[in-house]
Structure 1
């Protein structure tokens, strides 16, 4: 991947429309048909889908069962691990602190989190990425620590201890600011730096300033009894074991926590709660959480893009392109769970796909892409994208 600005994305984000699209019965019929066909590819676990229009959850439907006994059908109230979609929440925290004047995007991370200044490359040189480099996946840090995943488990309330362990096994794949490099450990560093700057632990800050004000009452980082009761049981299709279903690994993953990955992948949520997050991202959320100025700032941050311009990464957002159609959002993938959120900030709609399975024939990303393009074709203005 190379570093450059996705000009088509900038144009899409800069546009605005006053009225969110009408999600007609024809659109929901087609969405149901697309989702049902995707689930039928393997019928693993469950899939819950949703369409967001402006501030509202316009439509949702579930397929399959939330438990392996097939006694609890999935529903809009089913809780899923949303994995890296969590990065969008951490990016909101960054934008809030920038908007408040607490931090600057170009602050070196070690200004707030001293351990970030101890990171060294293969030649022993120290680098401290900036906050915006961490948020845009241009920090140069490797994807995960080389510690046999020891730092990727543990109580979410103790995630910073796991981060410190992981940093001792982390290096740079490239100098900061020179290349796109997806990094989960980078988002751990970002979360720690933001928590220090805010003077408040990451978990309590996100609950108090983001989840609570958005009304995301079925979301959280700690698996409470209420969340576990509604949680879909994750399924892994493991081809290494003669194509057998592996429930044990998925169950172990969510019960043991995700260690340093909390700011980049630790959230549990539902389609209804994520619809509130999507509404915020497209400009229909409470101004007290993220106002127009903060959203405009996100839109001005350049996107690190592939040379084909079909994929890029901005400030906590992935950018996808199919010909003349562009979507913004994020994917998620953990043992037993896959997820995808896609939205259009100009047309004011989005789609959500949550799946309690990893592997197999169905794909949360493919399903979300097909639903997104279908809604856009039927609601967007005439033009090349339609």
Structure 2
């Protein structure tokens, strides 16, 4: 789920030309430097496949590279784990609850989970805003996990383990004091919002976001239909990776989706966003150097460009989703190799920003 790994030379074949499909209207083009980089990354085996969806207003196009499901070119309906981009869904669920006056950002999370013993410092309780902005004081991950399968590390981390960790945890600093990226915090937020709604996290996601937006291939749990179109994941060394399953902290990284669905998701922020979508990207804390954090979404300014973005990484996948603050341009980058794809995403939004490609790392055979 890293908010921020590379296939060896066992060479997964790459197409000479990428798959391209326009999803609506005039076809936005992919930056030539980004196209060349994606072709290289899949051709030399650093990524099994990469798919890039380019958005310009209501128009979008999908470009696929490498090999995805059934060794075919990835397309608009190929399924990937999106990792920590899940957090933006959880942030939007919070914003929707605030807009509907069901909760307040300043409300303690304990109000939504009365059976939980929550840590506090000098009487300062952890609020929903703290969780959604990484200001909770909670660590990146709980230290009481004992996964039966290290390749599926969250599958057996349930409510019992989460309650036990929170009851015994002593925060290093008070909530609201400093930014510390926390997968645990977002997992807790998703659990709290689901409890408030009387649903599972997966059910809440379907009811409030995926259903209304027509995102038929987006879910926080694997289904037979999704598995049939899944691009199988790969570790950095090219070996097959297990898909991740979640219980108590699903709100941190459980979502699977497709380029088509992610285009619809980003356009819901870019095109006449409602009050909840506006709140989700509104800066909550400045982080210095032109950076800020909203409800999960990060905001950056560079070279005269202002962008809103988030990235993700699981054991076998990497992702990037972002758009310009003026809502004119957006991009989704998905890979079924656990290797960072941020540069492809940022360079699609800020032309000319693609850095030179470092030499491919060597992995033990």
Q: How many Å apart are 1:201 and its aligned residue?
A: 2.8
Tell me which residue corresponds to 2:204.
205
Q: Secondary structure at the match of 2:342?
A: helix
Tell me which residue corresponds to 2:345.
368
Structure 1 stretches of 5 or more lacking a match?
A: 1-20, 238-243, 285-290, 377-386
Q: How many Å apart are 1:194 and its aligned residue?
A: 1.3
Q: Secondary structure at the match of 2:277?
A: helix
Q: How many Å apart are 1:22 and its aligned residue?
A: 7.0
Tell me which residue corresponds to 1:99.
99
**CA distance in 1: counterparts of 2:63 and 2:42, whole angstroms:** 12
Match of 1:128 among 125, 128, 146: 125
Question: Is residue 47 of structure 1 aligned with residue 45 of structure 2?
Answer: no
TM-score by length of 1: 0.76
**CA distance in 2: counterparts of 1:83 and 1:100, whole angstroms:** 27
Q: Secondary structure at the match of 1:331?
A: strand
Match of 1:319 among 299, 306, 314: 299
Alpha-carbon contact 2:28-2:55 (below 8 Å) kept:
no
Tell me which residue corresponds to 2:36.
33
Provide closer, same or farther for how the CA distance between residues 173 and 356 of structure 1 changes in structure 2, counting only shifts above 3 A.
farther
Question: Is residue 145 of structure 1 aligned with residue 146 of structure 2?
Answer: no
Deviations 1:310-342 (CA, angstroms, capped at 9, x unpaired): x44221202233232221121001101110011
Tell me which residue corresponds to 2:333.
353
Question: Is residue 302 of structure 1 aligned with residue 280 of structure 2?
Answer: no
Structure 2 stretches of 5 or more lacking a match?
A: 1-24, 354-365
Q: Secondary structure at the match of 2:162?
A: helix
Query: Of Structure 1 and Structure 2, which has the larger fraction of its residues in helix?
Result: 1
Q: How many Å apart are 1:173 and its aligned residue?
A: 3.3
Deviations 1:77-104 (CA, angstroms, capped at 9, x unpaired): 2100001111111111111111111101
TM-score by length of 2: 0.80
Match of 1:277 among 261, 265, 272: 265
**CA distance in 1: counterparts of 2:62 and 2:268, whole angstroms:** 18
Tell me which residue corresponds to 1:241.
none
Deviations 1:46-75 (CA, angstroms, capped at 9, x unpaired): 11111122244x1111111125xx733322
Q: Secondary structure at the match of 2:91?
A: helix
TM alignment of 1:133-282, pairs within 5 A: 133-148=130-145, 150=147, 152-154=153-155, 159-161=158-160, 163-168=162-167, 170-237=169-236, 244-247=237-240, 250-251=241-242, 253-254=243-244, 257-282=245-270
**CA distance in 1: counterparts of 2:88 and 2:330, whole angstroms:** 14
Provide closer, same or farther for how the CA distance between residues 107 and 201 of structure 1 changes in structure 2, counting only shifts above 3 A.
same
**CA distance in 2: counterparts of 1:277 and 1:203, whole angstroms:** 16
**CA distance in 2: counterparts of 1:136 and 1:162, whole angstroms:** 23
